[in-house]
Amino acid sequence: MDPQYFEIYSELRTTKQELLKKIETGSSPLVQPYIEAELQDIDTAITKIENGTFGTCEVSGELIPDELLSIVPTLKSIDDCKTLQYLIHKSI
């Protein structure tokens, strides 16, 4: 595992446990599909960290900026980054 991603790895595992607990304690049926989708994304990110492919675009193979991965570690592609950058507004 790449040492630079250890903190992200730990946070992903913690978030996964929190979401699993939320499902076990009974979440709203309207929210449950979103939790399950997020769990799948977290599992994918954890697997990528473990096998050394974390931070690489699934479409183009380009590197995803570490600054964005530290904010949203479940990003899968450069297109996801562009969407995220569109949603983030800097104050003037």
Sign for the pseudo-dihedral over CA of 64, 69, 72, 74? positive
Mean pLDDT of 66-87: 79
What does the domain layout of the chain look like in residue ranges?
3-87
User: Topology of domain 3-87, per CATH?
Assistant: Four Helix Bundle (Hemerythrin (Met), subunit A) (1.20.120)
Q: CA separation (Å) from 30 to 23, 26, 36?
A: 12, 11, 11
| Residue 68, pLDDT score | 84
| Residue 65, pLDDT score | 86
* 11-43: pLDDT as tens digits: 999 999 999 998 888 778 888 889 999 999 999
Q: Where do we find the tokens 């183009």?
A: 60
pTM of the model: 0.82
Count H helices, E strands: the chain?
4, 0
Q: Name the amino acid, one letter, at 2.
A: D
Q: Where do we find the tokens 């507004």?
A: 89
Contact 39, 22 (CB under 8 A): no
